[in-house]
Structure 1
Amino acid sequence: MISRLQQIQVTVQQIAEAISSVLMMDVTIFDQHMVRIAGTGYHRDTVGQRIIGYSVGHQVIEKREEYIIADIKSNDACLVCEKQSTCMELAQLCCPILLGSEVIGVISLIAFSREQQMEIIHKGTQLLDFIRKMAELIAAKTVEKSTVNRLLFLKNQLETVLNFVAEGVIAIDNAARVINMNFAAERMLRTKFNDVLDFHINEVFPGTPIPEILRNGKEFLDREVKMWRNGRQHHYLINAKPMLVDGVIQGAVASFRLVNEGYQSGYSKEAPVAFEDIVGNSKNLAAVKEEAKKAAFGLSTVLITGESGTGKEIFARAIHFTSDRSTGPLVALNCAAIPEALLESELFGYEEGSFTGAKKGGKPGKFELANGGTLFLDEIGDMPLALQAKMLRVLQERVVERIGSVKVIPINVRMIAATNRNLEEMILEGRFREDLYYRLNVFPILLPALRERKSDIMELAGYFMQKHARAYGKDIQSISAEAEEVLLQYNWPGNIRELENAMECAVIKTLGSTVEVRDLPPKIAVTSQSGESLLQHSAEKEEILKALKKYGGSVEGKAQAAASLGISIATLYRKIRKYGLS
Structure 2
Amino acid sequence: MEKSYEQLKWEMEIIDEFIEKAYEGLIIIDKNGLIIKFKYEKFLDVKEEEVIGKHVTEVIENTRLHIVLKTGMPEIGDLQVIKGHNCVTSRIPIIRNGEAVGAVGTIMFKDILEVKHLSDHLEQMKQHVKKYKQEIKRLNLAKYSFEQILTADPHMLSLIDSAKMAAEGNASVYIEGESGTGKEYFAHAIHEASLRRYGPFVRINCAGIPRDLFESELFGYEPGAFTGASTHGRIGKFELANGGTIFLDELSAMPFEMQAKLLRVIEEREMERVGGNQRINIDVRFISASNEDLHELVTQGKFRSDLYYRLKVVHLKLPPLIERKRDIMLLANHYLQLFAKERNITLDGFSKEAKHCLEHYKWPGNVRELRNVVESAVSLSKMNQIIVSDLPDYIAHEKGEAIDATGLNLDALASDQFVDLYTLMDRFEREVITKALVAAGGNRTKAAHSLGIHRTALYKKMSKLGMEAE
| Short-chain TM bin | 0.5 to 0.7
SS of alignment partner, residue 476 of structure 1: coil
Q: Which residue of structure 2 aligns with residue 443 of structure 1?
A: 314
Q: Which residue of structure 1 aligns with residue 256 of structure 2?
A: 385
Q: Distance between the aligned counterparts of 1:431 and 1:235, measured in 2?
A: 48
Residues 518-543 of structure 1, C-alpha deviations (whole Å, 9 max, x = no match): 11111122234379xxxxxxxxxxxx
SS of alignment partner, residue 402 of structure 1: coil
Q: How does 1:64-103 map to 2 (within 5 A)?
A: none
Q: Which residue of structure 1 aligns with residue 23 of structure 2?
A: none
Correspondent of 2:388 among 514, 517, 534:
517
SS of alignment partner, residue 386 of structure 1: helix
Correspondent of 1:310 among 163, 176, 181:
181
SS of alignment partner, residue 514 of structure 1: coil
Counterpart residue type for residue 165 of structure 2 = K
Q: Distance between the aligned counterparts of 1:313 and 1:400, measured in 2?
A: 26
Q: Which residue of structure 1 aligns with residue 427 of structure 2?
A: none
Answer whether contact 1:267 1:328 (CA < 8 A) is retained. no
Q: Which residue of structure 1 aligns with residue 221 of structure 2?
A: 350
Change in Cα spacing, 1:271 to 1:410, as seen in structure 2 (3 Å) is closer
Please say if 1:487 is aligned against 2:358: yes
Q: Which residue of structure 1 aligns with residue 304 of structure 2?
A: 433
Q: Distance between the aligned counterparts of 1:500 and 1:337, measured in 2?
A: 23
290-299 or 405-414: which moved more?
A: 405-414
Please say if 1:335 is aligned against 2:335: no
TM-score, normalized by length of structure 1?
0.46
SS of alignment partner, residue 355 of structure 2: helix
SS of alignment partner, residue 499 of structure 1: helix
Q: CA deviation at 1:480?
A: 1.3
Q: Distance between the aligned counterparts of 2:366 and 2:161, measured in 1?
A: 21
Correspondent of 1:288 among 150, 159, 162:
159
Change in Cα spacing, 1:272 to 1:528, as seen in structure 2 (3 Å) is same
Q: Which residue of structure 2 aligns with residue 158 of structure 1?
A: none
Counterpart residue type for residue 181 of structure 2 = T
Q: CA deviation at 1:353?
A: 0.9
Q: Which residue of structure 2 aligns with residue 363 of structure 1?
A: 234
Q: Distance between the aligned counterparts of 1:509 and 1:296, measured in 2?
A: 41
Q: How does 1:160-171 map to 2 (within 5 A)?
A: none
Q: Distance between the aligned counterparts of 1:528 and 1:434, measured in 2?
A: 45
Q: How does 1:401-416 map to 2 (within 5 A)?
A: 401-416=272-287
Counterpart residue type for residue 160 of structure 2 = K
Structure number with the higher strand fraction is 1
Q: Distance between the aligned counterparts of 1:424 and 1:381, measured in 2?
A: 10
Q: CA deviation at 1:235?
A: 3.8
Q: CA deviation at 1:387?
A: 0.5
Counterpart residue type for residue 361 of structure 2 = Y
Please say if 1:418 is aligned against 2:273: no
Q: How does 1:207-286 map to 2 (within 5 A)?
A: 235=127, 260=131, 263=134, 266-268=137-139, 272-286=143-157
Q: CA RMSD in A?
A: 2.5
Answer whether contact 1:264 1:327 (CA < 8 A) is retained. no
Change in Cα spacing, 1:263 to 1:506, as seen in structure 2 (3 Å) is same
Counterpart residue type for residue 444 of structure 1 = H
Change in Cα spacing, 1:265 to 1:366, as seen in structure 2 (3 Å) is closer
Q: Which residue of structure 2 aligns with residue 545 of structure 1?
A: none
Q: Which residue of structure 1 aligns with residue 269 of structure 2?
A: 398
Q: CA deviation at 1:259?
A: 6.0
SS of alignment partner, residue 300 of structure 1: coil
Q: CA deviation at 1:368?
A: 0.6
User: Which protein has the larger Cα radius of gyration, Structure 1 or Structure 2?
Assistant: 2
Q: CA deviation at 1:369?
A: 0.6
Q: Which residue of structure 2 aligns with residue 21 of structure 1?
A: none
Please say if 1:323 is aligned against 2:194: yes
Q: Distance between the aligned counterparts of 1:514 and 1:286, measured in 2?
A: 30
Q: Distance between the aligned counterparts of 2:340 and 2:231, measured in 1?
A: 46
Please say if 1:373 is aligned against 2:244: yes
Counterpart residue type for residue 154 of structure 2 = K
Q: Distance between the aligned counterparts of 2:122 and 2:378, measured in 1?
A: 50
Counterpart residue type for residue 354 of structure 1 = A
Q: Distance between the aligned counterparts of 1:393 and 1:510, measured in 2?
A: 54
Q: CA deviation at 1:470?
A: 3.0
Specify every segment of 5 or more residues in structure 1 that has no aligned partner in the other structure, as ranges: 1-222, 228-232, 237-257, 532-582
Answer whether contact 2:206 2:253 (CA < 8 A) is retained. yes
Q: Distance between the aligned counterparts of 1:333 and 1:270, measured in 2?
A: 13
Answer whether contact 1:399 1:408 (CA < 8 A) is retained. yes
Counterpart residue type for residue 499 of structure 1 = L
Greater relative contact order, per chain length (Cα 8 Å cut-off, separation 6+)? 2
Q: Distance between the aligned counterparts of 1:448 and 1:327, measured in 2?
A: 30
Residues 129-150 of structure 1, C-alpha deviations (whole Å, 9 max, x = no match): xxxxxxxxxxxxxxxxxxxxxx
Q: Distance between the aligned counterparts of 2:228 and 2:248, measured in 1?
A: 25
Change in Cα spacing, 1:259 to 1:394, as seen in structure 2 (3 Å) is closer
Answer whether contact 1:265 1:327 (CA < 8 A) is retained. no
SS of alignment partner, residue 479 of structure 1: coil
TM-score, normalized by length of structure 2?
0.57
Change in Cα spacing, 1:487 to 1:398, as seen in structure 2 (3 Å) is same
SS of alignment partner, residue 527 of structure 1: coil
Answer whether contact 2:223 2:232 (CA < 8 A) is retained. yes
Answer whether contact 1:224 1:235 (CA < 8 A) is retained. no
Q: CA deviation at 1:442?
A: 0.7
Answer whether contact 1:423 1:432 (CA < 8 A) is retained. yes
Answer whether contact 1:486 1:529 (CA < 8 A) is retained. no
SS of alignment partner, residue 355 of structure 1: coil
Number of residue pairs the alignment of both structures matches: 283
Question: After TM superposition, which residue ranges in structure 1, 4 or more long, deviate above 6 angstroms?
Answer: 223-227
Q: How does 1:45-124 map to 2 (within 5 A)?
A: none
Q: CA deviation at 1:264?
A: 9.0
Q: Distance between the aligned counterparts of 1:432 and 1:399, measured in 2?
A: 22
Answer whether contact 1:266 1:327 (CA < 8 A) is retained. no
Answer whether contact 1:483 1:517 (CA < 8 A) is retained. yes
